[in-house]
Structure 1
Amino acid sequence: MGKYFGTDGFRGEAGITLTADHAYKVGRFLGWYYNALRERNGNNEPARIVIGKDTRRSSYMFEYSLVAGLTASGADAYLLHVTTTPSVAYIARVDDFDCGIMISASHNPYYDNGIKLIDCYGEKMPEEILLLVEDYIDGKLHVFNQDWSELPFAHREHIGCTVDYVSGRNRYMGYLISLGVYSFKGVKVGLDCANGASWNIAKSVFDALGADTYVINAQPNGLNINNNAGSTHIEGLQKFVVEKGLDIGFAYDGDADRCLCVDEKGNVITGDHILYIYGCYMKERGKLLTNTVVTTVMSNFGLYKAFDEKGIGYAKTAVGDKYVYEYMAKNGCRIGGEQSGHIIFSKYASTGDGILTSLKMMEVMLAKKLPMSKLAEPLKIYPQVLENVRVTDKKAAKDDEAVQAAVQAVAEALGDTGRILVRESGTEPVVRVMVEAPDHDTCQKYVTQVVETIKSRGYGV
């Protein structure tokens, strides 16, 4: 990870750690860089960059700052306005853009925001370009065999322009509708839009496919995104599904790149359930290429036990949909994702897409003529205890010989009845200790053993 860009973009509190000036500089660099690449290929047309945003109040500030930077460098900015992250990835890929930008802090509270950069293939921007953006922000840019203390401004007819590109968002909606294999007629569906980017897209897609659609948290005001709503606060949708007698519910996060479900009984269907249900569905139809579902190390132990019973292979990556997609692309896998609901269907999208995920879950229900509770039933989620330990040095704490020995002792005691995972936080001075086992007390006992070892070695804060 770089200085500013983490696994999911440049994220921070709007106006404090992520400012309008940062956004302007990101726009200045991208506009100049992609124009320079075009010129080197003998193309004098201006670079084309597409921008989407979520419903945060600060998203307008960042949108206009990015546009100012892009056009000042001579690129044309195409505005999708409020839309989802996967829609920007889709349009960047199919409409021949040099790159895409999404303004969102995903599931974070309204006062945070972020800038996600997407390449022309609809995938996350390569690390080497992100590092160039960072170098420009820090005034130490070296590219094309020379140092750049400042970038040239476009002038006269070379100054860029903005284009209202809401038609791109509509085309993305049409694409989602085209993926509906079955009519949803007669199915009562609840949608929790988190007062975020899906608020004006998800219902239209479900309505077009014939569902009886019931929506909550679709009144964004700039300050209520993810506020007791969406996939990070799914209890509201659980209550709504039961009270309304709905057949299924889907909850998205702020930029709708993740989705969790609620079955007809009000039970939460996690990303692990989704991977299991759709993985089995693909295998039954001979569609699970490489016979592998890609997970992260945070997927539940029960998921692997269930896959073993079905003869389905699995891979484990580091936490982050970026790593899941990289593994899928390299190894030709068709489905992968995270417990949190970032699910990637690589045949249809290059990123996690919450609305696409909900359509795929509807497809399985309708194809198999079974309620979601029955589809999820064979997967037994193991109890889990996770404790975050604040430490003076997270790498030293995790690598300490005594801590490693304590972890190994727990792993041996659990055998094939559970697992232990100890990892460093990517964003905090914290070591995370997680145990999954057949019962909660066993989990707690082993977590406590390892945490006490870390503290006894003098790493605790």
Structure 2
Amino acid sequence: MKRKLFGTDGVRGKANSHPMTAELALRLGAAAGRYFRRDGSRAHRVVIGKDTRLSGYMFENALTAGFTSTGMNVFLLGPVPTPAVGLLTPSMRADVGVMISASHNPAEDNGIKFFGPDGFKLSDEAEVEIERLLTEGVELAQSHNIGRAKRIDDGRFRYNERVKGAFPRGLSLQGLKVVIDCANGAAYRTAPEVLWELGAEVIEIGTSPNGLNINEKCGSTHVDTAASAVVAHGADVGICLDGDADRVMILDETGAVADGDQLMGLMAKSWADQGKLTGGALVATVMSNLGLERFLDDQGLRLERTSVGDRYVVERMRAGGYNLGGEQSGHIVMTDFATTGDGLLAGLQFLAAMVETGKKASELTRVFEPFPQLLKNVRYSDGQSPLEDGNVARAIADAEAKLNGNGRLLIRKSGTEPLIRVMAESVDEAVLNATVDSVVDAVQAATL
């Protein structure tokens, strides 16, 4: 059985439209509750966090109803970063954790992600089983066994202390001026608090959520506002988080952006030099730049590639015993400290490197020369399968021949939106543009 409801990062869509309706969230909560209460022999717990979207109230209540209907006791964390849910699920001895968020998507979207009792995201097999239970229906708890729900007021403070504990002892951010852009999202209180408590002079952006402005012209996918603030305030560095704070982009003192690949390259070399990088490898997805792979080769390190999605990165890390991985988009996973991508934690690692080396951000954000890379998206309608079209297949084959081993071509469906993503890399930018455009034209023709 294949997953139909779950994508690469939980269930996601436009709020109040299928599949992101209150009715489905209630049923999904009941199905997940039954899955994690299979023995039925004791009280079970679930922790639920959310970002700052208006629809979060609706889904929080619907999921609570579903979980309590199967006898699960619910602990509501309120707005916290996604990695806080991964941390607090095992810390509070919960059987399952839930984050209500659509990450970097606009405010009208929302999503539901699940974490197992170990704080890691669920496997494909577990999601398939939850979908089966949702389809077939679940046995509800007897009336005297219905679960209870309560608010947990100190969830973010527990997370703050864990994040600060990962910052090297003896170091301080005293003297550093840091712009922090929280995308009007889940870290709007957490990130400024942590940076200030570690000694930084903090300039806040995106810390006034109103339910509708999450990721709006701010955050890791819209860095221009933060870049302007870095220059205007003469800041040493900028840290841009996304709506649920599991990804990060770093800005140097000129406002120039460094993506996840550059940050992972810096950390991999630094950790390897300190003897802290396990397995001699960095785990990243097929989207990471070929320049990163060549850089690691020069350092005597390996790049282990996975499918797109930080959960697949984590699965490979756990299977191979690696402790550093992530995505070009800014998910940085450090399993010595966290169970999932953590933008604030990764940002602090970069700040620690600045303090330890005494170097400017611009000296640390260009550890390798990236291959020219181009990504274009083609939207398609429900029921369409453009990648199965014969003309598309021929266009892809022709494009691969043009690259002739001097680049890469990657065609994939988005796991969160109805998009075909066409990405290529090449040392020759003319070939790069022609390659991507030929495939995009074929895919667009197949959607007409």
Describe the shift of the 1:195–1:424 C-alpha distance in structure 2 as closer, same or farther (beyond 3 A).
Answer: closer
- Structure 1 gaps, min length 5: 142-149
2:275 counterpart (278, 281, 286): 286
Describe the shift of the 1:160–1:433 C-alpha distance in structure 2 as closer, same or farther (beyond 3 A).
Answer: closer
What's the counterpart of residue 147 of structure 1?
Answer: none
Whether 2:219 is the aligned partner of 1:227: answer no
- Structure 2 gaps, min length 5: none
What's the counterpart of residue 145 of structure 1?
Answer: none
Describe the shift of the 1:74–1:420 C-alpha distance in structure 2 as closer, same or farther (beyond 3 A).
Answer: closer
Distance in 2 between residues matched to 1:5 and 1:83, nearest whole Å: 22
Describe the shift of the 1:425–1:109 C-alpha distance in structure 2 as closer, same or farther (beyond 3 A).
Answer: closer
What is the TM-score of this pair, normalised by structure 1?
A: 0.90
Describe the shift of the 1:238–1:52 C-alpha distance in structure 2 as closer, same or farther (beyond 3 A).
Answer: same
Larger Rg: 1
1:134 counterpart (131, 134, 156): 131
Distance in 2 between residues matched to 1:92 and 1:246, nearest whole Å: 36
2:65 counterpart (63, 68, 71): 68
| Higher mean C-alpha displacement, 399-408 vs 262-271 | 399-408
Amino acid at match of 1:440: E
Q: Give the match's secondary structure for 1:302.
A: helix
CA contact (8 A) 1:394 1:430 kept: no
Amino acid at match of 1:344: V
What's the counterpart of residue 142 of structure 2?
Answer: 154
Paired residue total: 441
1:179 counterpart (163, 166, 175): 166
Deviations 1:381-416 (A, max 9, x none): 22222334567633424897634541331231xx44
What's the counterpart of residue 334 of structure 2?
Answer: 345
What's the counterpart of residue 99 of structure 1?
Answer: 96
- In the TM superposition, residue 340 of structure 1 has moved relative to its aligned partner by 0.6
1:402 counterpart (394, 397, 401): 394
Distance in 2 between residues matched to 1:177 and 1:430, nearest whole Å: 38
**Pairwise CA RMSD of aligned residues?**
2.2
- In the TM superposition, residue 231 of structure 1 has moved relative to its aligned partner by 0.5
What's the counterpart of residue 245 of structure 2?
Answer: 256
1:275 counterpart (247, 250, 264): 264
Describe the shift of the 1:109–1:327 C-alpha distance in structure 2 as closer, same or farther (beyond 3 A).
Answer: same
Distance in 2 between residues matched to 1:175 and 1:34, nearest whole Å: 27
Residues 295-310 of structure 1 aligned to structure 2 (within 5 Å): 295-310=284-299
What's the counterpart of residue 7 of structure 2?
Answer: 6
Q: Give the match's secondary structure for 2:368.
A: coil
Distance in 1 between residues matched to 2:68 and 2:132, nearest whole Å: 20
Q: Give the match's secondary structure for 2:39.
A: helix
Describe the shift of the 1:187–1:32 C-alpha distance in structure 2 as closer, same or farther (beyond 3 A).
Answer: same
Whether 2:187 is the aligned partner of 1:198: answer yes
Distance in 2 between residues matched to 1:323 and 1:9, nearest whole Å: 13
Q: Give the match's secondary structure for 1:173.
A: helix
Whether 2:55 is the aligned partner of 1:58: answer yes
Q: Give the match's secondary structure for 2:154.
A: helix
What's the counterpart of residue 441 of structure 1?
Answer: 430
CA contact (8 A) 1:93 1:121 kept: yes
Q: Give the match's secondary structure for 1:224.
A: coil
Describe the shift of the 1:399–1:151 C-alpha distance in structure 2 as closer, same or farther (beyond 3 A).
Answer: farther
Q: Give the match's secondary structure for 1:202.
A: helix
CA contact (8 A) 1:248 1:372 kept: yes
Describe the shift of the 1:124–1:398 C-alpha distance in structure 2 as closer, same or farther (beyond 3 A).
Answer: farther
Q: Percent identity?
A: 39
Distance in 1 between residues matched to 2:403 and 2:360, nearest whole Å: 37
Describe the shift of the 1:58–1:247 C-alpha distance in structure 2 as closer, same or farther (beyond 3 A).
Answer: same
Describe the shift of the 1:347–1:38 C-alpha distance in structure 2 as closer, same or farther (beyond 3 A).
Answer: farther
Distance in 1 between residues matched to 2:180 and 2:150, nearest whole Å: 31
- In the TM superposition, residue 307 of structure 1 has moved relative to its aligned partner by 1.9
Whether 2:156 is the aligned partner of 1:164: answer no
Deviations 1:92-113 (A, max 9, x none): 0222111101111111111111
